[in-house]
Structure 1
Amino acid sequence: MAPHAPGRRHYLMCRPTHFAVEYAINPWMDPGASVDRGRAIAQWEALRALYLELGHRVSLIEPIEGLPDMVFAANGALTVDGRVYGARFASAERTPEGPAYLDWFRARGPAETHDPKYVNEGEGDFTVLDDVVLAATGFRTEAAAHQEAERFLGRPVVTLQLTDPRFYHLDTALFALSGGRVAYYPGAFSEGSRRVLRSLYPDALLATEEDAAVLGLNAVSDGRNVVIAAEATALIRRLRGLGYTVHPVELDELRKAGGGAKCCTLELRGL
């Protein structure tokens, strides 16, 4: 299947002004390891500049001191057709981010927003395709949030089960190449979820463990351009072979907190 023509996207990002690894809430995080905040900011700025170069629109939310993971904007909400389903974080350390992101949307108006009842971490665990929303549970997002999101957004939601703690969010194990095609690492999912994915996406691009282990699937695609971790070399070669224009990025400093390009990028659909 040839890549779809790219569309201009609208992204929300948060500068890592206060980025640090001060606690451990996923296997990537080591509070004892050194973090170069200046380098993290430079890598984030390069990512933002790339989006602008590709013709996308980038809005910014003000970082808040004391919320070092706020840079991972994808976790802040899920937006579909101008509706905003808010986040309710699993960890106490990140709990204030949910209201902060919803406040940003409400201040902008006129989007319809929903303060969730159930734990969910936004686009971290939701992936929007043309006719369905894929949603993960297993480590962060409650399965009940999938039904809550489905009711609010008016889109069918398919539940998937994550089983490998390295891939604690759906966006570390799967990304949408286009509105109807995905790339994913099978080893991150339960056997039942692998069957679901094979049925829904028989032409999916299957990543290796090596590429998944450098967060190669924490990638952003507009249908033709793919922004991806530079270390995911085999996946990059295969994407190019399929006709995608691939833009490798260095985000290894932010990867110390378990995030990559997608984690830094919340798509604003219809906003």
Structure 2
Amino acid sequence: MKIPPNLRVCVFAEQALNSTPKDEELEPSWFRNLAWYFFEQWFSKHGYECVGDLDIAFEGAGDALWGGAGNRTLFTGVGPRTDVRALRDLTERLDDGSSWKALGCRLVDPRFYHIDTAFCPLNEELAIYYPYAFDHITQHNMHNETDLLAVSDKEARNFACNAVVVGRNVVMHHQNDEIANKLEKLGFSVKFVDMSEFIKSGGSAKCCTLAI
């Protein structure tokens, strides 16, 4: 399946199954929904069921990250891009009878528009995050679900949290030495990549990926 070259939003693979954005400055809804059409076709062809309400703004894996004990908590960013109504929609549509839950995490700093720009689960017990991207209640609730290692403002703005985790390997944009050193001391292996061109679009390593 060939995707038309003008659908530049497709480079943000993590948002493959999103819906109409709340921010009018983003791609028009018809444009993004056209991209969604091509993603939906690919997933359906490969045996995946695509669900969701296109009337509820939900920015895919950019605003939904599994973490916590047993990876049973879906940390869901709400605010700038994703509508709080998505929490109920996700819970109902993904209900499999198990004990997982969707935890709403309110983003309050406009620089951090998706949860994955300010939060990155490393395993079931630990995540890195930029605390001031979230309101105080959210910070408290996140602490109840997982241990959190804070990232500095400078490195948060350098997309340190927009990282890809594969086992004990953490792939992130370069020049995030402070958090990288902390992670190395905890037994993680940090791999730096130069994402400077992609960052101009407002994302980094994690934005280019979608775990399936």
- Tell me the TM-score range normalised by the shorter chain: 0.7 to 0.9
Aligned residue identity for 2:93: F
Question: In the alignment, which of 195, 198, 205 is matched to residue 261 of structure 1?
Answer: 205
1:75 paired with 2:6, answer no
Could you tell me which residue of structure 2 aligns to residue 241 of structure 1? 185
Question: In the alignment, which of 157, 169, 174 is matched to residue 225 of structure 1?
Answer: 169
Could you tell me which residue of structure 2 aligns to residue 170 of structure 1? 115
Could you tell me which residue of structure 2 aligns to residue 210 of structure 1? 154
Question: In the alignment, which of 65, 78, 94 is matched to residue 153 of structure 1?
Answer: 94
Shift of 1:145: 0.9
8 A Cα contact 2:3 2:38, kept in partner = no
Matched position secondary structure for 2:116 = helix
Q: Deviations over 1:203-232 (max 9, x none)?
A: 311111111001110001123010111121
Check 1:64–1:178 CA distance in 2 against 1; reply closer, same or farther (3 A cut). Answer: farther
1:132 paired with 2:73, answer yes
8 A Cα contact 2:62 2:207, kept in partner = yes
Distance 2:74 2:183 in 1: 23
Distance 1:222 1:73 in 2: 17
Could you tell me which residue of structure 1 aligns to residue 139 of structure 2? 194
Question: In the alignment, which of 19, 35, 42 is matched to residue 88 of structure 1?
Answer: 19
Aligned residue identity for 2:50: T
Q: Deviations over 1:62-101 (max 9, x none)?
A: 5432121211100113xxxxxxxxx103041533222221
What runs of 5+ residues in structure 2 fail to find an aligned partner?
none
Distance 1:100 1:194 in 2: 36
- The aligned length equals 197
Shift of 1:264: 0.2
Using the size of structure 1 for normalisation, the TM-score is 0.69
Distance 1:104 1:115 in 2: 16
Q: Deviations over 1:226-265 (max 9, x none)?
A: 0111121111111111110111111110000011110000
Distance 2:34 2:176 in 1: 33
**RMSD between superposed Cα atoms in Å:** 1.5
Q: Deviations over 1:152-191 (max 9, x none)?
A: 1224100010011110001100011013321110010011
Check 1:252–1:63 CA distance in 2 against 1; reply closer, same or farther (3 A cut). Answer: farther
8 A Cα contact 1:164 1:189, kept in partner = yes
8 A Cα contact 1:163 1:188, kept in partner = yes
Check 1:62–1:244 CA distance in 2 against 1; reply closer, same or farther (3 A cut). Answer: farther
Q: Deviations over 1:44-67 (max 9, x none)?
A: xxxxxxxxxxxxxxxxx8543212
Using the size of structure 2 for normalisation, the TM-score is 0.87
Shift of 1:124: 0.6
Q: Where do residues 47-58 of structure 1 align in structure 2 (5 Å cutoff)?
A: none
Could you tell me which residue of structure 2 aligns to residue 113 of structure 1? 50
Distance 2:6 2:32 in 1: 10
Matched position secondary structure for 1:114 = coil
Matched position secondary structure for 2:143 = helix
8 A Cα contact 1:135 1:160, kept in partner = yes
Q: After TM superposition, what 4+ stretches of structure 1 lie above 3 angstroms from structure 2? A: none
- Structure with bigger helix share is 2
Deviates most, 256-265 or 89-98: 89-98
8 A Cα contact 2:9 2:32, kept in partner = yes
